[in-house]
Structure 1
């Protein structure tokens, strides 16, 4: 059985300010580094076989910090990078509502193409790492889209606010992907 542990990257200054990041390459802030440290410390090296990261700084740095505790081979898969939000990137919720009251952001990655990209990445992991336990460090919209697709819209995009460095587990069992749990944040209890 292939299992994937999806971890959202640590906090950035844009997260803290409520700015949408998309493919804008923003680094972790101090709190994000602390979140990644606590996340890594909560994981057990014997539970995982490989670590995959989005190539964007905030995910890659989160993966590198987590990997200090796991010492796994790290691979980058660009299909796990965040959705492009086009002209809305860098804007707060209020600014987005003012500029784009219809919720449509010019030049953003279309949802269907985004869905195909992230689910294609999940299938690539299953193909390349059959019966392995894989950690994937990615982004909020990416993980939410995966959860939404696998739950037939019950959770995920538009319904679930994923916390920075939250953990969500999925596995491929009896020819289908299943959600074991999502948005797990016990490791953040000490962080204010």
Structure 2
């Protein structure tokens, strides 16, 4: 059985302001670094064989902080970089609704292309690391797309708001992927009293 633990990157200033980031390469803020640190402290090195990260700053920094606890071999995969949101990047939700009420941002990566890129990445991971335990640090839209594919649209993209530094777990067994859990935040001090959502 191949397992993948999906971790969304920690918070950035643009996350805090509600601005869509996409390919704009924004670093973590102090809250995001704390969230990554809490992920690292929570995860157990014995549970994973390799760490894969998106090449974007916010994901790489999250992965580096987590790996300061785990000391896993690390590889970067561009397949898991965030979706490009074109002219929508840098705008708040309010600004996006006002400027692009149909939700279609000029110059954004087409949904089908994005889906194919991300799911091709998942297949590459499954083929390269059969029966291994993978920790994958990526982005909200990337993880949302994976969860949407595996749940036939019941959760993920457009349905589930994934929190910064949340954890989701998927397993590949008997030729199919299954979602074990998603959007887990009990390891984060800011949600400690609320539990998972």
Is TM > 0.5 for Structure 1 vs Structure 2? Answer: yes
Distance 2:190 2:90 in 1: 29
Match of 2:106 in 1: 106
Distance 1:97 1:9 in 2: 25
Structure 1 segment 27-106 matched on structure 2, within 5 A: 27-106=27-106
What SS does structure 2 have at the residue aligned with 1:106? Answer: coil
Q: Cα RMSD between the aligned structures? A: 1.0
Distance 2:101 2:185 in 1: 33
Distance 1:165 1:103 in 2: 26
Match of 1:164 in 2: 164
1:2-28 residue CA offsets vs partner (Å, 9 max, x unmatched): 000000000000000000000100000
Match of 1:24 in 2: 24
| Contact 1:87 1:108 (8 Å CA) reproduced | yes
CA positional deviation for 1:189: 2.8
Distance 1:98 1:9 in 2: 28
CA positional deviation for 1:102: 1.1
Match of 2:195 in 1: none
| Contact 1:84 1:108 (8 Å CA) reproduced | yes
CA positional deviation for 1:180: 0.4
| Contact 1:35 1:191 (8 Å CA) reproduced | no
CA positional deviation for 1:191: 6.6
CA positional deviation for 1:55: 0.3
- What is the count of residue pairs matched by the alignment? 192
Distance 1:31 1:189 in 2: 11
CA positional deviation for 1:190: 4.9
What SS does structure 2 have at the residue aligned with 1:143? Answer: helix
Gaps of 5+ in 2: 193-197
1:139-169 residue CA offsets vs partner (Å, 9 max, x unmatched): 0000000000100000001110000110000
Match of 2:139 in 1: 139
Q: After TM superposition, where is structure 1 displaced by more than 2 Å over at least 4 residues in a row?
A: 189-192
Distance 1:69 1:14 in 2: 27
Distance 1:174 1:61 in 2: 34
Distance 2:171 2:110 in 1: 27
What SS does structure 2 have at the residue aligned with 1:7? Answer: strand
| Contact 2:39 2:165 (8 Å CA) reproduced | yes
